Amino acid sequence: MTDKDLIKLALEAREKAYVPYSNFKVGAALLAKDGTVFTGCNVESASYSPTTCGERTALLKAVSEGYREFDTIAVVGSLEKISFPCGVCRQFLREFGLEIRVIVATSADNYQVRLLKDLLPDSFGPEDLV
Ligand code: THU
């Protein structure tokens, strides 16, 4: 699975976004360490706060299927300007590893790569619950 292939899966997932309120579609494709990919999109709610981001949808699908080790997540929000994961999604991903690669893209030809630890420095995580 190349970075470009993962971005293409995120773009496909983005088309499934349920966004009647913001009209802002987000798609994510999460690559587990064994090569399995879980996709997700944002799903909004009329009462707003239950809205779930695309990244968290993908992670929830993966963890609920028994996966806990991840290599990379590709995220596509706006197709005009690269958008980065929100703070809640950074924290949610962080639970499963600071070394997760985060690809942010508008297309398979326009993307940037970060490590989660650089997007969420000095973070609080499972190791801190001592
Ligand atoms: N959204 C995501 O899906 N991921 C993010 O990282 C940022 C925001 C969604 C939530 C909402 O449905 C829409 O984008 C506008 O905020």
Residue 13 lies in a domain: yes
Q: Give a yes or no: residue 129 inside a domain.
A: no
Q: Whose CA is nearest to atom 10 of ligand 1?
A: 53
Catalytic status, residue 12:
no
Please pick, among 12, 15, 44, 55, the residue that the annotation labels catalytic.
Answer: 55
* Cα–Cα distance measured from residue 79 to residue 74, given in angstroms and rounded to the nearest whole number: 14
Measured from the Cα of 57, ligand 1's closest atom is 3
Which residue's alpha carbon is at the smallest distance from atom 7 of ligand 1? 86
Q: What is the CATH number of the domain that holds 12?
A: 3.40.140.10
pLDDT value, residue 47: 98
- Please give the average per-residue pLDDT across 89-103, as a whole number: 98
Q: Is 18 in the pocket of ligand 1 (CB under 6 A)?
A: no
- pLDDT tier at 25, thresholds 50, 70, 90: very high
CA 3 to chain centre: 14
Structural domain containing residue 112: 3-120
pLDDT over 90, % of the chain: 100
**125 alpha carbon – ligand 1 mean position (Å):** 23
Strands 70-76 and 110-115: unpaired
pLDDT on residue 86? 98
Q: Is 61 exposed, middle or buried (0-12, 13-18, 19+ CB in 10 A)?
A: middle
Which residue's alpha carbon is at the smallest distance from atom 4 of ligand 1? 53
Mean pLDDT (whole number) for 42-68: 98
- Number of domains observed in the structure of the chain: 1
- 126 in a structural domain: no
pLDDT of 66 reads: 98
Q: Is residue 125 part of a domain?
A: no
Nearest CA to ligand 1 atom 2: 53
Q: Is residue 130 part of a domain?
A: no
Q: Is residue 98 part of a domain?
A: yes
Average pLDDT, the chain: 98
What pTM value is reported for the model? 0.97
pLDDT of residue 38: 98
Summarised one tens digit per residue, pLDDT across range 31-46 is 999 999 999 999 999 9
Closest atom of ligand 1 to CA, residue 21: 12
9 pLDDT band, cuts 50/70/90, is: very high
Mean per-residue pLDDT, 58-77:
98
